[in-house]
Structures are given as C-alpha cells and as structure tokens.
Chain A
C-alpha cells in the first residue's frame, strides 16, 4: 500500500548529512577567533566535510525526486516494517541515560541490578527465574571482580 507522506524528500540519510554539515559549520564558525595554527587544519577539514555533505544532500534529493513514486512505496513499507518491529532502540537509549543519571546516586550494585532485571523483560524475555539469577550473579560478580582485582572504585551509592 502506498502511504501519503508529510515530507517525501526527507530521508534518514539526508537528516544525517544535514547534521554533519551543521557540525562542520559549527567548527568553521567557532574556529574564527583561534590562532592560525589552531584553526588551519580544522577549517580545511570542516570546509571539505561541509561541501561533501551539501553535495550528498543534493545528490540524494535529485535521486529521490527522480524516482519518488518508487521511493515512497519503498519507504512506506520500510516504515511499516519499523512500526511492526519494535521500539527497542528507544528503550536501550532511555535505559542508558537513566543509568547515567542514577549511577552515582544509587551506586553500581542497585542501578546494575535494576538494569539487568528490567531490560530482558522489556525485550520480551519471560523466564523470570533466569533473569533474577543472572541479575544477582552478574551484578555481584562484576562488582567483586572489578573492585577487588582491577581496583576500579565503582560507586557504592547512598544505601551502602
């Protein structure tokens, strides 16, 4: 089925290319006040990267425009597939950010135990016994190995 799309010419690639061009422009603008030695290399590389990025945006736009009917169909099915598949990438990123926020506060043991127990369930794993055992063994095992043998001071958190 062909689905109507809001922005038929904006693809994932063009968003990445635009982001890279913006990053290169940021480097160009930011480096204006630096000394010659400090700005020479970054300015040359940023200019080339920005030009290549703009070229790729135009190339992709022309390619999509030329065959946009086919592309719309393809993207439509791709999007359907994505919808059907899952939102696991978002889960993993969200868990990663939450872990960063609570790591120092809750400490390694509690935050890792929560992560090890919650992520498999969110990813659809149903054997709770294994999840619990793995969470306990790995959390304590990793803490013991890294603090005792590798002398890494993992945060203890407020409860310990």
Chain B
C-alpha cells in the first residue's frame, strides 16, 4: 500500500501542484506578514475542484514552504517573514551583516528540512497514539506549560534579568488588551471597538521587527553586508550536519509543541532557540551569529507544522488556525477526521504522508538553489531596501484583516521596537510575553473554574505536578550546579 501510494504521489499532477505549492509558499513565507495561515486560507478554495490527495499535497507544500520561507527574510533583512521565524532573526541577521548570509541560509534550509521530516514521521508513526494522549491535557497542564515558557524569560534576558522580566511583563500586559476569552468582557480598550479584538499579533511583530529594522537601516545607510564575498551555502549545510544533537533536540521540541493545541510555530521557534541557548557550552555566542541559533528555531518550527496536524487528523480538534484550515480541506473533500482516519481511508493517508515528505524535499531543493540569489539582497543599498521593507510591512499589516488601522498600529510598534532595540532591551522577552500571555491567563482561569477556586488543581493532577517540578528544578538548576561545582573545587584543597 505504501509503495502504491508513493507512485501516486509521484504522478505528474501531484508533482506539478507540489512544485506550485512550494513556490507560492516560499513567496508568501518570505513576505512579512503573509504567513502560513494566510497562504492556506487563500489557496484552500483552489483545492475544491482537485482530487483530495492533490489538494492536500498542494496545501502541505504551501504550508511547509511558507514556514521555511519566513527564515529567508529573517536572516537577510532581520524581518521575520512569519511570526514563526522571529528567533531566527537574532543570529541569522548577525551572520548576514558579516557577509555570511549564504552560510546562514544553508543552515536554515537543511535544518528546516530535517525538522519537517521529523514532524511528518511523528504524524505517521505517533499520530493515533499522540492524538489520544493530547486529550488528557487540561487547563491546569496548559497553564503549567505556559509558565514553563515564561520561565525562559531569564534565559532570554541577555544578562540583565530585571530588564528581561520587565519586558516579559510588558508583553503580557499587551496580551491582556481586548476581549477576555473566559469572561467575555472587554479590557483596556480605551473605549474603542478596534482594540476589542486585542492588539493584533501580526502588525505588532511586523512593526517591532520589520518596520523597526527599516528605521535602523535608514539610519545606518550603506548596505547590510559590507563584505563583497559571500560565503557558501553548502558550508552552512555541512556545518549543520555536524550538529545532529541540536537538530534532534529542536525537532522533538517542535513536535511536542506542535501537538499541543494553541502554541503554534512561533512558540516552537522561540522556545527551541532559548532551550538551545541554555544548553549550549557557549551561550554568550548566541545573538552574535551562532549557527545553532538558526538550526534550533528552524528545525523546531518546521517540525511543529506537521505535528500540529496530529490532533486535527486524529481527533478532529484543530489546535491552531492552520490545522483548522487543513481540517476544513479534509471535510470539503468528504473525509472524516478521527482515529480511523489513519487506517480506514485506504491509500489516502499514506499518499498524504508521501506528499508531505516530498514537500520538504521540494523546498530543500528550491531553497538551496535559490539561496545564492536571495543573499544578493544584502548588497542592495539601504536607501532602496528601506522603502521596499516599508511597503511590504504596510501590505503585510493590512492584508490579513483589510484594516487600515493595523497599519498605524504597526508604525507605532515600529517606533517602540526601534527605541527598545536602540537601548538594548531584550526583545525576545517581550515576544515571549505576548505569545504566552493569553494562553497562561485563560487556562489559569479555566483551571480555577474547574476546581471552584482552589489552587490545589495545579498539584493534584499528575502531569501538572510533574511540569511544576520541572519548572522549579530548571529555575534552581544554575544555583544547584554552582553549589556542586564549588563543593567539588573545595574538596581537593
């Protein structure tokens, strides 16, 4: 059955739409603001007349390539194409400034490929089992997961923990603006209808990173990379292959985050970056052009793409906007999601799996072939690059909701982002707060509603308790390590 499905996936019509999906996904991913949600939403209607396998493979290619495509602009312009490539900017752009954009793109392409393959394999082998397990995770566990993510603020704070915590707090406060998910009441909206939907994440991220970067480039003049010789893409690929632990660790993080509803590729990208930095022997090199700072977030976000489909395919529960769109695609084609989806639909599931694997190969080839051309962007004078980034930022902020006010919001956050970067405030902490704020608050309130206001729920449920212990231990670990090292040093004396 699997061999027959491979031949089906390799047939001309499947391959043609696979390639088309990959090219469109790359363009959408690289343009700031137009992420995978946008790509899937737009092209979903195109799949109505296609065969189910062709349609789903086409959407898989758009999805995988757009997540990878986000890293191209993140590395070359410090402008994350998708919210799932924010952490890639930190080291990617530093490498571009040194004239190592090709090396960075090589690392990002190959690590995205491996991450993507890990995600598809998780969907293939662990899908039915994980779909069932994810049902056991309730609000108490989700709150602990959000807390675990927030505890990484100290790691992300670049040495000034107080500043990092304050930026994390600022991010959380921004996340509270708008209608509360649990109570339904509008908060901090200044009486405006616009803020009732909350501060929109996409214009905010585009403002802080893309528009803020346009201001920085305008001030610096010249061009991004001063070096005339661009280092090879293959060098980045080879270096990445020497870091299997980073790839495996980040892929596992990506798969785990992908399965859990509500976290998404942005959390995968961010958390894996911070975990990688924390587990590195040289954390001080992160943010200065460290190749592992690209490998980890890129492997994780691509791993989470396919993994996020596990609850959607297995239980019919979409954990994110993208998996909801995939779910609609399944239903439009008359397919029923659920436990039986993995076994009862004949060749369909294996064909989709093959299609997803081929989608990873497709963006790998396109990415490696195109990297040498993409990298030339860093040689364009800033005076010409700045208006292009500005226009793409305007379109990106406007496109999702057709709201002109989103453009103003983006400009305001561009200004805020510029000044925060200028005075070296850790932006990673701000984004972490924004990503996890809503998740932490809504699940905390839900958990307390279930327990009738008792905090015991967080220690009575085994998974929640384990997570709490892990959080406490991870926070105490540096001090325990320091204490043990001091004891060891004292002994010989």
Contacts of B28 in A (CB 8 A): 150
CB distance from A33 to the nearest CB of B (A): 10
Contacts of B448 in A (CB 8 A): 37
Q: A93–B411 contact, CB under 8 A?
A: yes
Of listed B28, B408, B420, residue having the most chain A CB within 10 A: B408
Decide if the interface of chain A is mainly helix, strand, loop or mixed: helix
Q: Report the stretch among B178-186, B291-299, B328-336 that lies at the interface.
A: B178-186
| Docked complex: A8-50 residues within 8 A CB-CB of B | 12-13, 16-17, 20, 23-24, 26-27, 30-31, 34-35, 37-38, 40-42, 45-46, 48-49
Contacts of A53 in B (CB 8 A): 166
Q: B419–A12 contact, CB under 8 A?
A: yes
A38-B183, A91-B218, A146-B399 given as contacts; is B388 within 8 A of A138 (CB)? Answer: yes
Residue in B219, B392, B404 whose beta carbon sits within 8 Å of that of A88 in the complex: B219
CB distance from A35 to the nearest CB of B (A): 6
A41-B441, A103-B404 given as contacts; is B173 within 8 A of A119 (CB)? Answer: no
Q: A45–B387 contact, CB under 8 A?
A: no
Contacts of B215 in A (CB 8 A): 88-89, 92-93
| Docked complex: B258-296 residues within 8 A CB-CB of A | none
> B176 at the A/B interface (Cβ < 8 Å)?
yes
- Which chain B residue shows the least CB distance to A124? B383
CA–CA, A31 and B441, complex, Å: 15
CB distance from B357 to the nearest CB of A (A): 27
CA–CA, A60 and B381, complex, Å: 38
Contacts of A123 in B (CB 8 A): 218, 221, 382-383, 386
Contacts of A124 in B (CB 8 A): 221, 383
Q: How large is the interface on B (under 10, 10 to 19, 20 to 34, 35 or more residues)?
A: 35 or more
CA–CA, A123 and B395, complex, Å: 22
What string of 1s and 0s marks CB contacts (under 8 Å) between B384-426 and chain A? Answer: 1011101110110011001010011001001100111011010
Of listed A12, A38, A48, A92, residue having the most chain B CB within 10 A: A92
- Which chain B residue shows the least CB distance to A97? B411
Contacts of A91 in B (CB 8 A): 218
Contacts of B399 in A (CB 8 A): 146, 150, 152
CB distance from B163 to the nearest CB of A (A): 7
What string of 1s and 0s marks CB contacts (under 8 Å) between B234-255 and chain A? Answer: 0000000000000000000000
Q: A38–B411 contact, CB under 8 A?
A: no
A100-B411, A103-B404 given as contacts; is B391 within 8 A of A115 (CB)? Answer: yes
CA–CA, A13 and B163, complex, Å: 10
Residues of B with Cβ closer than 8 Å to A?
A: 24, 28, 34, 38, 42, 162-163, 165-166, 169-170, 172-173, 176, 180, 182-183, 185, 187-188, 211, 214-215, 218-219, 221, 381-384, 386-388, 390-392, 394-395, 398-399, 402, 404, 407-408, 411, 414-415, 418-420, 422-423, 425, 440-441, 444-445, 448
Apart from A123-B221, A124-B383: 9 A-B pairs, beta carbons within 8 A: A12-B422, A34-B185, A52-B162, A93-B415, A96-B211, A123-B383, A150-B38, A152-B399, A152-B402
